[in-house]
Chains A and B, each alone.
Chain A
Amino acid sequence: MSEALTLHFDVNGEDFTSAGQASVRFKKNMRELGVDPEIIRRASIAMYEGEINMVIHAHGGVADVNVTEDAIEIILTDKGPGIPDIEKAMQEGYSTAPDNIRSLGFGAGMGLPNMKRYTDEMKIESTVGVGTTVTMKIKLK
């Protein structure tokens, strides 16, 4: 794999049932690039968790992916309500998901911890009332 690749996805905040499309597309792109299956699995789960968070908590957003020889970088940006206490949000089990979302199987409070576990670097920048940017990096070497 030599060339750098960039991908851009709009994540629709209205359409909960089709949420995850960006991650599924991303996974397909990584397969075509010949990335190691276990790395693809980690990266696409992390991206899916972030994508779902934007849909559930932030009315959608955008996902940008940069793939270089060294790493996959995933940047999720939304103009949602922001996260008041990032440390608390990162705790396993912490969730503000409403009941209708919980009845679909989300809201375990495991999304952000999964994103951290499955990536090599993760950074959350968030301002209440402005939005949230999550940057994740998965090393390829």
Chain B
Amino acid sequence: MTVAEFAEKYSLEVLSMPDPSREIKGGYMGDLLSWVMGRAKADQAWITIMSNQNIIAVASLIDVACIILAEDVRLDESIVENAKAKGVNVLAAKSPAFEVACEICHEIK
């Protein structure tokens, strides 16, 4: 399923979507950035509640399909602009990280 399709189906807010047709091929959940960099794989959706500028660089380097902010976490406008400039997809969910993970799991089975 693509990032755009996932956002649509689960009514996630689209904060940045420069690459809507990017395929989600799994998920990774975590807030400790070095942990995520060591464990997450390319093309996964990265679920986090971290909302500082550094998540954009991390997402870009590890090459995830998108960041999904859980728990209704918000981003500053400058971070959203940075995400768009770096080509990083960012979605925002009202639900807890666990529920977002369940939805991803459901789609990639």
Contacts and interface: CB of A to CB of B under 8 A. Distances in A.
Contacts of B53: 17-18
A21 B86 CA distance: 11
Interface in A2-16: 16
B57 A24 contact: yes
Contact of A19 (B37, B42, B57): B57
A108 B38 CA distance: 11
Contact of A41 (B55, B58, B63, B86): B63
A41 B38 contact: no
A106 B34 contact: yes
A61 interface: no
Contact of B52 (A23, A41, A105, A114): A105
**Interface core residue of B31, B42, B57, B63 (most chain A CB under 10 Å):** B57
B61 A20 contact: yes
B31 A24 contact: no
Give chain B's interface secondary structure class.
helix
Contact of B62 (A24, A45, A107, A117): A45
Nearest to A102: B32
Given A23-B57, A41-B62, A111 B52 contact: no
A72 B62 CA distance: 18
A117 B38 contact: yes
Interface string B48-65: 001011110110111100
A69 to B, nearest CB: 24
Interface of B: 31-35, 37-38, 42, 50, 52-55, 57-58, 60-63, 86
6 contacts: A18-B53, A20-B58, A24-B60, A49-B37, A110-B38, A114-B34
Given A17-B54, A37-B42, 19 more contacts: A17-B53, A20-B61, A23-B57, A24-B57, A27-B60, A41-B62, A45-B62, A48-B37, A49-B34, A49-B37, A105-B31, A105-B32, A105-B33, A105-B54, A108-B32, A108-B35, A110-B37, A114-B34, A117-B38
